[in-house]
């Protein structure tokens, strides 16, 4: 996303990677060094994977595992040059917040309807949706579902469980 060059007369439903509700949220717990964007950076509003070192996050997995979490939009943009452009990429070494549950604004490459499963691309962490158990080629299941749908490329809301999956904290 480059520098704004037009004026919109109506606001979008939400902003890519942002929190979509006041419902409870759940994040991946980092080690003492936190989670940091890898050399290629990390795209906000996509899924991210913690790499083998336990610190570095990329928008692609080490193997074929599920993503660690959804990359949250929780930092202000950094424009490093006067009148420069900004992107939705956290640059190398920046803190990354990975969300494992809650409600978030996202964009899917496919049309999304409520109840569909959310899948993450293993090449760039981008989102596709579909029926549960029908993982598209080149994607992995995320455990998130669509709660408010939209056309391909439009802002939607995805939700992930906020309770521990294992039930070990009961």
Q: What digits encode the pLDDT tens for the residues 11-30?
A: 778 899 999 999 999 999 99
Q: pLDDT category, 170, cuts 50, 70, 90?
A: very low
Most distant CA atoms of the chain, gap in Å: 53
List CB contacts of 9: < 8 A, sequence separation 6 or more: none
pLDDT score of 82: 62
Please tell me the distance from the alpha carbon of residue 158 to that of residue 156, in angstroms, as a whole number: 7
pLDDT score of 77: 58
pLDDT score of 37: 95
Please tell me the distance from the alpha carbon of residue 71 to that of residue 63, in angstroms, as a whole number: 19
Average pLDDT over residues 141-163: 95
Q: pLDDT category, 166, cuts 50, 70, 90?
A: low
112 vs 26, 80, 140, CA distance in Å?
23, 36, 17
Average pLDDT over residues 84-103: 88
Q: Is 54 exposed, middle or buried (0-12, 13-18, 19+ CB in 10 A)?
A: exposed
* H-run or E-run covering 96: none
SS3 at position 41: coil
pLDDT score of 76: 58
Q: Name the more confident of 65 and 167.
A: 65
Q: Name the more confident of 74 and 152.
A: 152
* H-run or E-run covering 34: none
pLDDT score of 9: 73
Q: What is the pLDDT of residues 43-69, one digit of tens each?
A: 999 999 999 999 999 999 988 899 999
pTM for the structure as a whole? 0.87
Average pLDDT over residues 34-46: 95
Cβ atoms of residues 136 and 156 within 8 Å? no
Q: What is the pLDDT of residues 116-145, one digit of tens each?
A: 999 999 999 999 999 999 999 999 999 999
**Residue pointed to by tokens 């994607």:** 139
- Locate the domains of the chain by residue range: 26-160
Query: What mean pLDDT value characterizes the chain?
Result: 89
Cβ atoms of residues 121 and 128 within 8 Å? yes
Q: Which of 56, 40, 54 is nearest to 123 (CA)?
A: 40
CA distance from start to end of the chain: 43
């Amino acid at each position: 996303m480059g520098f704004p060059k037009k004026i919109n007369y109506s606001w979008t439903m939400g902003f890519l990677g942002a929190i979509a509700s006041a419902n409870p949220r759940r994040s991946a717990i980092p080690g003492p060094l936190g989670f940091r964007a890898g050399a290629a950076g990390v795209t906000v509003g996509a899924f991210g994977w913690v790499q083998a070192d336990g610190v570095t996050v990329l928008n692609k997995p080490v193997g074929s595992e599920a993503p660690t979490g959804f990359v949250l939009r929780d930092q202000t943009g950094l424009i490093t040059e006067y009148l420069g452009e900004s992107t939705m990429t956290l640059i190398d070494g920046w803190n990354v917040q990975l969300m494992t549950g809650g409600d978030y604004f996202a964009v899917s490459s496919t049309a999304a309807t409520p109840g569909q499963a959310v899948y993450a691309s293993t090449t760039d962490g981008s989102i596709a949706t579909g029926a549960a158990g029908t993982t598209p080629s080149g994607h992995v299941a995320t455990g998130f579902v669509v709660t408010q749908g939209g056309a391909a490329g439009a802002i939607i809301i995805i939700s992930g469980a906020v309770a521990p999956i294992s039930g070990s904290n009961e």
